[in-house]
Each structure stands twice: as C-alpha cells, then as structure tokens.
Chain A
C-alpha cells in the first residue's frame, strides 16, 4: 500500500496581535507537531472537539493556510514551502468539501457555474465542453439535471452538499478533505451523503481525510483514526483497533460519550466517563501534556513534560505518560 499523503511535524501558530501597532503578544498553537500518513485509497479520520485544530490541519494540507513549520508530502513532493503560483497544478489533485454547503456555495451563482469553477480556473475545455462535464458530475453525485441552472437557495441541504461534492470532483482529484461533510445536514440526509461519498471513493479510487467530531460517522467510514486535542495528537490507530482498545484517557472519555440506544450497544462502549471543565484556550495551553487539566489519570509528570509518541501496539500510537516508564506502574 503506497502512502499518498504524509504530514510530519506540522505546525500552525496564529499570532495574537494587540494594540495600535499590532504588536505580537502571543500565539495560538492551533496545530502543534502533528504527524500522520494516509495510504492511497483509504480514509483517514481526524476527530476532536471544536477548537482542537482538526480543520486547521485540513486547510493547511491544502495550503489554504500557510504552515508555520513541518512538511506536507503529497505523492512524494513537499508542498509546505511552495509559493502560491507553484501550487496551482497541485490544487487539481487535492480538493475540499466544506461543512456548511449553504456558505460554501456562492448564493449569486448558478449550480452549473459553481460546479464548473475549477474547470474554468484551470482553463479546461470550451464552455460547451465544461457544461458536458458538469452534467456528468451532477449525474455522478445523483443530482437531477433540472437543477443545472438553479441558484443554491432553491436546493435542500443535501442537494447543496451534492453540488459541493461535484465541484470538488470536477478536476478528478486523488485526495479530498472532507471537513465535517455531514454535520450541517439533517440526520436523514447524512446517511445518504455518506453512502455517496463511500461509493465515489470506491469508483474513483479517492483518498479521504475525514474531519469530524461525530464518532459514529467515523466508526463506519474510516480506516484510520487520529484523535486531536488542543492542536496535538492524542492517539492514532486503525479504526477497529481504536474502538476495541482505546488507550488514551481522552479517547476513552470520547468513546464513552457516544449516545447509544440498545443494551447491546451499551455493552460495547466503556463505562461513562465525564470530563470536567471546558477545553482550555489554545492561546494559553497547559504545560506538559495539554490534556492534564481535565485528565482523570493525571500524574505528577503530566504537568511538566509533554508525552512522546509511543507505539504501544503495532500501528497503535498514543501520546500519554501512562505508557512511558513513569506511568507503566499505574496500569
């Protein structure tokens, strides 16, 4: 299995300016030393609360945001230091589907124009040929052709997201970032959109980076999961392994919070763990392990030292002192 995209030591710090002269008074470490690799044709999920930096990771990979540090290797080429002009050929291969289709579609443009945008930008085909491609794409995302000249406000949420997906696929990308693609939709529509995305992945051999806070979506949809908290990775493992054997206290708390209906489902999830407090401000992140302020397994070392990456089981990584020499006695 070849790696299509790998990210190493990715950092994005946003400066905090204050006062009349915009003096830099601090920084928000939105993404701090994040590394992972996505094999071609697979789905890699980033999960975390809002404010954990998962969306920033996605946008930085697409270079919609310039990284502060680290490398983004796409198909062997480092994109992190390319200039805006040099990025254009790479933009054909990487696309994004945003969370809220209402704001990701221009209200003053018609569906045909929206979907043709990437083709137009890259100067592909004549207007007539582009329209043909748009029809093909609408067919691919199962949106009736009669909506070709509709404005977005005439479409339902699910239909809008189909338009956004069609636009993302216009240039036949290899890699698509799905930034919470279903969380703005009605529950009844979510399943349809997920099924569509799964079918497209199979038919077109797409590689997905799925950003989500919804563990029940991630569980059925992804091959690998990485859990983020305050800009840092907490745990990373294949999906089955992570759900079967969560190591990090934060992951355990998250899994215990999945709402369940039946008793069988209840038996599958760990005992309910309720975290205290709120996610701290990323402008003033805790020392040591960023999770220590809310951790129920906190030790002395956690407040002072950031935990290193540990491969606890094959391909199952955790960033937690419970698995270092200091913490091993506690397990």
Chain B
C-alpha cells in the first residue's frame, strides 16, 4: 500500500519570497526561545519599566517597606511611641519637629513612620488571610461544581451583600480593639471577593482543552487544579492582591478613625487622624500628616497594581 508516501499529501507551492520570509520568522522565534525560561518575567519587567506612573508606585511601595523595617533607625524620636513630653506639646512643624508635635508632645513624624509598620501589617495580614480562605474555596467551588459550588457561592453572596467597611465595623465593634482583631475583622469581609474571582477563573479555565488533555493522561483533580489551573490564575491574583493591599490599609485606617481599630497610643494613622480632629483647624498638622500617609500608601499600591495589570495584560472584572 502506498498510503504512507508523503508525496501523496500535496504541499502547496509557496513563492520563494514568502518561503524566505517564513524561514526568517522561524529563526527569529528560535532565537527568542533560547532564553525562554525567564522570558515572561523579562517581558513583564520591561513593560513595567516603560510606565513612569507604575515606577512611581513601585518606588512608594518599596519606600514604605524600608520605612516599616527600619522605623527605629529612621524616626528622629523613636522613644516617642511610648513616652510623653509635656514640655513640648503642640509644636508646629519646624526644623526640630518636621511634622510638629501632638497634644502630649510626641513627634508626629516619628509616629507616622512607625505607623507604616501597623498599616502595612494590616494590609499584608488581611490579604494573607483572605487568600488562605478565599482561594481554596474558589478552587473547590469552581472545580467541583454542582451543589458544592452552589453552597459556597451563595455563602459568598451573603458576605458580598454587606459593604466590607460596614461588615468590618460590625465585627470590630463586637471584639476588643486590638491590632489582631482589626486584621481579623477586615479579612472577614475580604475573602469572599477572592472566592468569587477564583471561582470565575476556574470555571472558564477548566473548559480549556489543555485541562481535557491532562485528564486524558489520567490526571486527578488535585493535579489539574494545582498544575494546570493555578498557574493560570497567578498573574490575576498578583495584580488584585497588590491593588487590595492599598484598600485594606485604607479600611484599617477607617476603622481606626471611627475608634473601632487599634487603640492609642499605638501609632495607627486612622486613630492619629481621629484624635487630631479635635484640634482642627489651628493644629492642622495632627490630622494632615497621618492623612497624607494614608493617601500616599493607597496611591502607591494602586499605581503599582495598575502598572502590573497592564504589564501582565490581565482583566479584572
């Protein structure tokens, strides 16, 4: 039988020019894929570098991290976190006290710098908890489907029906106002967003042919979830987490401002702004500088998140 002769299958005749073009294209591809191991990362960084605003965001976020870690070294009066100085209350901003001093004579700049620690730990811890609860639930709901999906998603809907700040307020009103409880209260209202995001992603990815290919190879649901689906939701998660850290910091500050967050004398920005409110408008520095710190933090994470979103080329709802 002659059926295996390749000449039986007619290849179309290309003109030499098109053929040369095709060969050149192929070579370009080959050259590129040599360093393919890090290609994705390189491309992402390249796109990030091209956008000034995201670089500003990155600089702010890195700056905040440095401030948080080296607060005792950077703050001019680190002892002001715990001690009072009645001899120098309400000093306006000047050479000695850049951001002025408060009603018990503490240096506002030092307290704002130490506040970075509180705010960043709220932001990071809230997202860590939200991810730890939200992502597994979303994976299970999306992959298993059926009644399991219905139960998880309706539960999520109940949480989503209440505005996050209101829910966090309700929870912290019940609990004693400590840093840990603030974090818990905010995380409590945060995880459902991740369940919904992941569930939606899994639902669409699990219909992809590469999942079916893995199944035909004999892969079990765990393999498919972790090796085939999860890598495809990582970029969208990174972007959303970056954006959300800023919002979690803001929510923490809102709780503090309303007196439901961390209690004084802990240098929390929202609490500081709330206390200083009594001395407005004459002693404006008590509210303005903590407020600016909140503003810059949220802005920084937002710019970075937006930049990453464009760099990774993902779409959030």
Task: List residues of chain A with CB under 8 Å of any chain B CB.
Answer: 59, 62, 64, 87-88, 91-92, 94-96, 98, 100, 103-110, 113, 117-118, 120-122, 144, 146-147, 149-151, 154-156, 164, 167, 170-171, 187-188, 190-192, 194-195, 198-199, 201-202, 217, 220-221, 223
Contact = CB atoms under 8 A, between A and B. Distances in A.
Given A88-B218, A121-B219, A96 B32 contact: no
Nearest to A158: B26
B231 A106 contact: yes
B14 A188 contact: yes
Dominant secondary structure of chain A at its interface with chain B = helix
Contacts of B9: 190-191, 194-195, 217, 220-221
A199 B36 contact: no
Contacts of A100: 209
A146 B6 contact: no
A103 B3 contact: no
Contacts of B231: 106, 108-109
A198 to B, nearest CB: 5
A147 B3 contact: no
Interface in B186-227: 208-210, 212-220, 223, 227
Contact of A122 (B26, B30, B213, B218): B218
B33 A150 contact: yes
8 contacts: A100-B209, A121-B219, A151-B36, A154-B33, A156-B29, A191-B9, A198-B6, A220-B9
Given A106-B231, A107-B232, A91 B216 contact: yes
Interface in B30-69: 30, 32-34, 36-37, 39-40
A109 B10 CA distance: 34
A99 to B, nearest CB: 8
Given A104-B210, A156-B29, 8 more contacts: A62-B216, A96-B216, A121-B214, A121-B219, A144-B30, A188-B12, A201-B4, A221-B9
Contact of A154 (B11, B12, B29, B227): B29
B218 A92 contact: yes
A59 B212 CA distance: 10
A59 B220 CA distance: 17
A104 B29 CA distance: 20
B8 interface: yes
Contacts of B103: none
B228 interface: yes
B232 A121 contact: no
Mostly, the B contact residues are: helix
B315 to A, nearest CB: 15
Nearest to A159: B29
Nearest to B208: A103
Given A64-B215, A156-B26, A104 B8 contact: no
Given A150-B33, A188-B12, A167 B3 contact: no
Contacts of B6: 191, 194-195, 198
Contacts of A220: 3, 8-9
A191 B12 CA distance: 9
B216 A104 contact: no
Residue from the set B12, B30, B208 with the largest chain A CB neighbour count within 10 Å: B30
B217 A151 contact: no
Contacts of B32: 154
A121 B223 contact: yes
A79 to B, nearest CB: 13
A91 B11 contact: no
B33 A147 contact: yes
Contacts of A96: 213, 216
Contacts of B223: 120-121
Which of B32, B36, B232 has the largest count of A CB atoms less than 10 A from its CB?
Answer: B36
A224 B22 CA distance: 36
Given A100-B209, A104-B209, A220-B8, A118 B33 contact: no
Contacts of B30: 144, 146-147
Interface centre among A103, A106, A171, A187 (most CB of B within 10 A): A106
The list of the 10 closest CB pairs from A to B, nearest first, reads A108-B231, A91-B218, A118-B217, A150-B33, A154-B33, A195-B6, A150-B36, A104-B209, A191-B9, A103-B209
Nearest to B211: A106
Given A105-B210, A164-B213, A187-B12, A154 B39 contact: yes
B217 A167 contact: yes
Contacts of B234: 108
Contact of B4 (A113, A191, A202): A202
A191 B40 contact: no
A105 B14 CA distance: 29
Contacts of B215: 64
Contacts of B34: 146
A202 B109 CA distance: 78
Nearest to B207: A103
Contacts of A149: 36-37
Contacts of A201: 4
Contacts of B218: 87-88, 91-92, 118, 121-122
B43 to A, nearest CB: 10
A26 to B, nearest CB: 21
A255 to B, nearest CB: 17
A194 B3 CA distance: 11
A64 B212 contact: yes
Nearest to A114: B210
B16 to A, nearest CB: 13
Contacts of A156: 26, 29
B239 to A, nearest CB: 15
A198 B216 CA distance: 22
